[in-house]
Amino acid sequence: MNWTGILGLCFLLSQEVAGGSDGAVMTMPPTTSSAPPIVGKASSGGNPATQLLGYVRDSVIRMKDGSVELYTNHKQCNEIRTKQKTYFAAVQATLSEEQKKKMGKRITPSTGGITYEEFDFLQKGKDDRSKLGNIAFMMFAAPNFLPYAFMFFPDMLPGPFKKTTNKMGLQFSKWEMISRERSHAVIKAFVDLERDARVPPAIANINPFGKAKTKRNMERIERFGQAAAAVLVTKGAVGDAGANVALNLLQDQIYATADQLTKKELFLADIPKNIMMGLCRALDAPTAPSSFLPNFVIRGRVLAEIKKMTNSDEFLVNQKVDLNTIRSDLLVEACTARLISAPGRTDEEMRASLANWLEMAVVQPASYAQKTGLQYNANLVRTVLLSYHAIDAARDSRASSYLPRLMFQGQL
């Protein structure tokens, strides 16, 4: 390990993250609290030596406060896991041996005995520990690449180490920035999808033997474009009702027999890269990923987000959580993670949208599969829902990106 990794970490810790990251600060009152923002004493016109000392001081203090908060959160997570283990043992004590085998011996993320607030806190703690482990590994194994990792993955810091102040002092909220970036991601995905369906890639001219494969890929992309167009022109396909229309259009791909539902379909290998990149940009807003990332990295990041949604959906459905009991801030985070939130929506609207999401992503597919004996591709279901809600949010009159919104509305 050398000084490159340490300096890169200190530099990122000293930066201000505009508007913060979705779920960056873990709140579990009254046991934890976010470290207060630190204001450096150095000004832009001060002594350079004083500025440097202030810069180092602020970085060290931020490191200390973030480490204390991270450890406090870790202890709170252990207490929540203890509650889960106690509940799991109590449930197993009432089951027969056959029921125990069906239930399994390990605690899953959707295991009950805790509230949704505690579940959300536990998932954020898991993400923070994973990020901390990745940073520690890179500091010792590849310190020279750590600054570049921060550049390509700006969201790799654990939540307690992030500031939520706006360095430029702009009058935009976190959710407004996310809404704007997601609208831009939708427009770019549409443009790229139509271009790749009509214009062969430049590399296809180099390979004289790949014309047939290129043609098949372009036809596949065109089918996805036509499916999106069918949803857009369907009368009444707006809001939550439009999500059901989108799922019905792809019903043949969602439900299949066990031998037809291969690993390739489960990992969304047939979804065009433009759609996956658009989803990745929308999910990671406002810190969009680099366009130079390879396709498998983009797909992996989208699947990781879908896995988190799956755990959350199963917890809400299996534990029969009353959505009216979810705090407003957690409700906004849950809807934003599923791309169904927009600035200005009321809690009632978000609860209705979240309930509709759970119905279409968990309840209806499971019921249909049980009746027909087919299996359903849960990853594809959520991919379709994410794509539709991203489009619907961009068309919403409350979307922050006003120019695309006015273009959708046309001349009234």
Q: What is the pLDDT along the chain (412 residues), one digit of tens a residue?
A: 555 555 555 555 555 444 444 444 455 544 443 444 444 444 445 688 888 888 888 888 888 888 888 889 999 999 999 998 888 888 888 877 777 777 777 777 777 889 999 999 999 999 898 888 888 888 888 888 888 887 777 678 888 887 655 555 555 677 788 888 888 899 999 999 999 888 888 777 777 777 888 888 889 899 988 888 888 888 878 888 888 888 888 888 889 887 778 888 889 888 988 899 999 988 887 676 667 778 888 899 899 999 999 999 999 999 999 999 999 999 999 999 999 876 788 899 999 999 999 999 999 999 998 898 888 999 999 999 999 999 888 888 888 887 877 776 654 4
pTM for the whole thing?
0.80
Going from N- to C-terminal start, the domains of the chain cover 3-161, 174-409
Quote the CA–CA distance of 179 and 164 in Å, as a whole number.
17
Quote the CA–CA distance of 260 and 254 in Å, as a whole number.
11
Bridge partners, 375 (sequence order): 256
